[in-house]
Amino acid sequence: MVDLYPEYDDSVLVLNPLGRIDGTNAKAFEEALLGRIAAGDNQILMNFEGINYISSAGLRVLLMAAKRTEQAQGQLALCAVQDHIQEVFKFSGFSEIIPIHSDRPAALNSF
């Protein structure tokens, strides 16, 4: 299973996934993340510092999570995204719909 290394900063759930999010683990990633939202967490910050690869399968999970948190009057944000990953967020238009912050303190201020 994917370990999200969760922690709380006030009411914000900070998740710190590591490595890759691709077709081979997207399902597990989805279950872990949506499970958190289903359990009541809707203020979620994904710290992408440790993510060095994400494919469309991973983007799809982020999109689902962003929708669910929004439906729950919450928010999903990213921070510390590596440059080459950020590129894909831009290409895919995800950077327009999911807030991406440069670092964690900045991200936490936005909640």
Partner 1 sequence: MAGRIVGMISVLTLAGVIAAVAVLVLLAFDSEEDSGRRTAKVLAESVARSLLAADLSSLSDEEVNALIRINAPAADVDETDAVDLSYIWVFNAAGRHLAASAGARQIGRDEINPARAAMTPGAETVVESLPTGIYAGTAAIRAADGAAIGAVRVEFTSNQIGAHFDIYRTEYIIGVIALLVVLVLGSWFLARRLARPIGIMVQAARAVEDGRQPEPAIAASLRNTSLTRDEYGELAGVFLDMAREVGAREIRLNSLVEERTLELSEKNRTLEDTQREIRNDLEMAHSVQAALVPSDLPEDPRAGVAAYMTPALDVGGDFYDAFMTDDGRLAFAIADVSGKGVASALMMAVGRALLRSAANQHPDPSRAIASTNDQLCSMNPKELFITTFFGVIDLELGTLTYVNAGHDPPYIMRPNQAPEMIPLTGGIALGVLPGLNYTETTIPLDPDTALYLYTDGVTEAEDASGQQFGRDRLEGQLAEHATLGPQELMDTILADLRGFSGDAKQFDDITCMALRFVGGGALTDSYIPGQGDRRLASGWRRMVVQPSLESSLPRVTAFVERFAGAEGMDVGQIYRINLALDELLTNTLEHGFPKRVEEADISVAIRSEGDRVVVRYEDNGPEFNPLEAPGQDTELALEERPIGGLGLQLIAETFDEVTYERVDDRNVTTLHQSRASSNGEPDSDDSAFR
Binding mask 4-33 for partner 1 (x = CB under 8 A): ------------------xxx---------
Q: Kindly give the pairing relationship between strand 12-15 and strand 7-9.
A: antiparallel
DSSP run (H or E) holding 25 = none
Six token digits for residue 100: 């991406």
Q: C-beta of 49: minimal distance to partner 1 in Å? A: 15
The answer to the question of residue 102 lying near partner 1 (CB under 8 A) is no
**Of the ranges 3-11, 33-41, 82-90, 100-108, which one interacts with partner 1 (CB under 8 A)?**
82-90
Of 111, 16, 33, 34, nearest in space to 73 by CA: 111
